[in-house]
Amino acid sequence: RFFSCGIGMAKSKFEYVRNFETDDTCLKNCYIVVRLDGRNFHKFSEQHNFSKPNDGRALGLMTRSARSVMEDMDDVIISYGQSDEYSFVFKRSTNWFKRRASKLMTHVASHFSSSYVFYWKDYFGDQPLLYPPGFDGRVVLYPSNRNLRDYLSWRQADCHINNLYNTVFWTLVQRGGLTTTQAEDRLKRTLAADKNEIMFSEFDINYNNEPPIYRKGTSLIWKKMEETVTKHVELPDEEEKEVLVTRTRRRVSACHCDIVGDQFWEEHPDILEDDNC
């Protein structure tokens, strides 16, 4: 009478389709980097009135979302973000999702995106979110500490180059009264030194004094914190007592420092694992 028995058997008949899935396990002993990029964020930033050249609320929300990802996946040893992108570095020896690339990148993309909407109000207040934003992602593997550091240096150099350009560009427009086309022409073929010079001589701005979050982007790492909590203890003689307990917890901590040079890495020797493993 009920058709379902047939279906019940049919299930096994269909189950062969599972074998079309392919294995995309990441090579062992490599750092796994997941990088997200905002989709059509140029348009998104216009529609949501991001201030130029940098919008503190938007950067804050990106970092809040990245923090949320790290707290969910504590094998991420460092994240680095700038503009509408964020990179998440999983430790060499991670076994999250059995190192399956598709699981790692979709989970990061999903969690980051839902966090972005979830925390929007905390950063943009009354300014409404007009539609759900999108981020796409990719996975890249790096076999050595040198390669990984060079990857992060590449992203921070990119941040620097873009921010320097954008800062001069919008200064020329907002304070210099140029049209955007004029500003573009003015900056064509200028080197970094020329741009610094324009800022300094025409607008009395020392670019190096601009906020580090704009010039350097944001790095999130784990820091060990001492935490003192009060614990309720029952003693053998049925007495009770309050005791102070100090324990160590890992907390996600943000900085806007240089990660190209050696100093950062010497100060945080626990981030990278030894190459010789």
* Amino acid occupying residue 144: S
Which residue from 2, 235, 238, 267 is in contact with a copy of itself, where contact means CB under 8 A? 2
What is the β-pairing status of strands 218-234 and 240-255?
A: antiparallel
Which residue from 86, 207, 214, 264 is in contact with a copy of itself, where contact means CB under 8 A? 207
Nearer to a copy of itself, 163 or 218 (CB): 163
**Does the footprint of a copy of itself cover residue 44 (CB under 8 A)?**
no
> Whole-angstrom Cα distance, residue 228 to residue 22?
48
**Does the footprint of a copy of itself cover residue 129 (CB under 8 A)?**
yes
Q: Does the CA dihedral 184-195-219-104 come out positive or negative?
A: positive
Nearer to a copy of itself, 48 or 111 (CB): 111
**Does the footprint of a copy of itself cover residue 132 (CB under 8 A)?**
yes
Which residue from 76, 111, 123, 221 is in contact with a copy of itself, where contact means CB under 8 A? 111
Nearer to a copy of itself, 167 or 218 (CB): 167
**Does the footprint of a copy of itself cover residue 29 (CB under 8 A)?**
yes
**Does the footprint of a copy of itself cover residue 136 (CB under 8 A)?**
yes
- Is 87 in a helix, a strand, or coil? strand
**Does the footprint of a copy of itself cover residue 201 (CB under 8 A)?**
no
**Does the footprint of a copy of itself cover residue 36 (CB under 8 A)?**
yes
* Helix pair angle (180-187, 145-174), 10° resolution: 130
> How many CB atoms are closer than 10 A to CB 275?
12
> Whole-angstrom Cα distance, residue 90 to residue 255?
19
Nearer to a copy of itself, 108 or 172 (CB): 108
Terminus-to-terminus CA distance in the chain, angstroms? 63
* Amino acid occupying residue 149: R
* Amino acid occupying residue 8: G
**Does the footprint of a copy of itself cover residue 208 (CB under 8 A)?**
yes
> Whole-angstrom Cα distance, residue 264 to residue 104?
27
Least distance (Å) between residue 160 CB and a copy of itself:
5
**Does the footprint of a copy of itself cover residue 126 (CB under 8 A)?**
no
Which residue from 45, 150, 178, 256 is in contact with a copy of itself, where contact means CB under 8 A? 150
| Paired residues of 253 in beta bridges | 221
Q: Which stretch binds a copy of itself (CB under 8 A): 159-167, 168-176, 227-235, 238-246?
A: 159-167
Secondary structure (DSSP) of 194-240:
HHHHHHHHHH---GGGS-HHHHH-EEEEEEEEEEEEEEEEE-TTS-E
**Does the footprint of a copy of itself cover residue 135 (CB under 8 A)?**
yes
182 within 8 A of 211, measured Cβ to Cβ: no
Least distance (Å) between residue 152 CB and a copy of itself:
9
**Does the footprint of a copy of itself cover residue 23 (CB under 8 A)?**
yes
Which residue from 153, 166, 178, 210 is in contact with a copy of itself, where contact means CB under 8 A? 153
Q: Considering only residues 57 through 96, tell me which ones interact with a copy of itself, judged by CB under 8 A.
A: 68, 72
Q: Considering only residues 227 through 266, tell me which ones interact with a copy of itself, judged by CB under 8 A.
A: 260
- Residue 205 burial by Cβ neighbours in a 10 Å radius (0-12, 13-18, 19+): middle
